[in-house]
A = this chain, B = another copy of it.
Amino acid sequence: MNGAESLIRTAIASGVELCLANPGTTEMPLVSALDRAAGMRAVLGLFEGVCTGAADGYARMAEKPALTLLHLGPGFANGIANLHNARRAGSPVVNVIGDHASWHRAADAPLASDIVSLARPVSAFVRESRRAADLAGDAAAAIEAALAPPGHVATLIVPADCQWEPAGAPGPRAQRAAPRPVAAARVERAALALRSDEPAVLMLGGAALRERGLVAAERVRAATGCHVLHDTFVARLERGAALPGFERLPYFPEQAIQRLTGARRLVLAGTRDPVSFFGYPDVPSRLAPADCERIELASVEEDVAGALEALADALGAKSTPARVEARERPAPPASGALDVAALGRALAALQPEGAIVVDEAATSGAVWFAQAAAAPRHTLLALTGGAIGQGLPCAVGAALACPDRKVIALQADGSGMYTLQALWTMARESLDVLVVVCANRSYRILQIELARAGVAEPGPQARRLVELAHPELDWTALARGMGVPAVRVAEAGPFAVELARALAEPGPALIEALL
């Protein structure tokens, strides 16, 4: 067995089942090992950002890491943006990067570069393997680092000679650490804060947004009357049907600050003190009032759901929350213009039970978010790190993790262009993904940001930098060029018809919604 095979076998023994790959010459022994060691599915992405974004989406749903297999520094660099999102999501991901043979590094061949410097900003764990015999142990260490709560990006750099040289047996399988329990004193402190008469907010993020956490938070709310909010951009949020649903913190800081005005206590469960997405003149970074007391119930590394349940118990809350009233699901639009309201309503009206919605719709997604509270049970995966080009790859990963659930990629056109190669992987792997492209033919958020920056009348160059027209993109052609069937609609009625049709059939498929 060579080093490459010992690495792959160790990963399989540790429960890793998927390798998202765009390999090159320095990864050939690993590529070959994927066939010799049964149990690891290899999926090709035609660009590394597809692989890393898919690894993020897979991890959010499967709750374990996939491997990415990437080629030297430049191949890794192409995957950094979506690893940035994975890092912010707390997703476990294990990057395996082939490097030049150790003795060839001194040659400074064309593809050589400082991979460690590239890896550190997105990786909680970075290791360069030294010899073939270490690869199994290095792989186990990387997987354990990735699995440390809440989940981390781990990067293992494997020189080619360490892959091809003989190694021993696979290493010990990686162990998953449980999240740390929260001490009773911290639960007590949060309970005290919420019992006071002063206005209090319970802020949720991370694992608090799964069913256990949501139910416990609703018990806390019912017992105390506190406001409950959750992060604007969530790694994974369970929603719909009878699940308790809470308000999303607004995106723009002025609105978020207004929402938090008057709060005297802020209890944080699986999230941090909320900050503005960007800094603007005369707007503070921190969104809650300066004199509002911050109380951390549980950090993202800790057992957030358990802490929320302990908090509810400490508050003497009823053991189950009052049944959530059935919310009225919207009807799909039958006619009229296709705008973000009609689009959001149609999707909320028609999305099937158990859908996974990957929301990279930017300015086009808010109406759907509001309306879908009344939809059947579904899972939302959002853009956690702000690095656009995450939606389509994330949908690939979610579909690989959950082949029995419909994945809906609600996708802005500008962001979608970053990693459109993901469509090809959807076609190759016959993934059950419906892509809805919200084609407003602009970076609409930047048009808003230009106005916010005081540019009321952008000049011709600024205008051209924030619009996608001239020429207009044809997403149906782009999709067909990668093997994904596609239709274009420009009115609300036909959109609802096409949406219903596409949702009824296995994917992949794409609908270009001209807004």
> Which A residues are within 8 Å of any B CB, using their own CB?
21, 23-26, 28-29, 31-32, 34-36, 41-42, 44, 46-47, 49, 72-75, 77-78, 80-81, 84-85, 88, 100-101, 103-104, 106-111, 113-115, 117-118, 120-122, 160-161, 164, 233, 275-281, 285-286, 384-387, 389, 414, 417-418, 420-421, 424, 427-428, 445-446, 449-450, 452-453, 455, 458-462, 464-466, 468, 470-478, 480-483
Contacts and interface: CB of A to CB of B under 8 A. Distances in A.
A164 B455 CA distance: 12
B418 A42 contact: no
A158 to B, nearest CB: 13
Nearest to A286: B107
Q: Describe A's contact surface by its main secondary structure.
A: helix
22 contacts: A23-B465, A25-B278, A25-B449, A28-B446, A31-B450, A31-B462, A32-B462, A44-B464, A46-B414, A47-B418, A73-B80, A74-B85, A75-B81, A77-B77, A77-B387, A88-B110, A104-B275, A104-B279, A111-B387, A117-B120, A428-B471, A473-B483
A464 B77 CA distance: 23
Contact of A453 (B32, B80, B111, B121): B32
Contacts of A81: 74-75, 77-78
Given A74-B387, A77-B80, A384-B110, A121 B121 contact: no
A424 B78 CA distance: 20
Most buried by B among A107, A428, A473: A107
Nearest to A115: B121
A32 B450 contact: yes
B471 A427 contact: yes
A478 B481 CA distance: 5
A114 B117 CA distance: 10
B460 A46 contact: no
Given A110-B277, A285-B104, A465-B31, A478 B473 contact: no
Contact of A417 (B46, B110, B122): B46
A159 B35 CA distance: 48
A461 B28 contact: no
Nearest to A165: B281
B113 A121 contact: yes
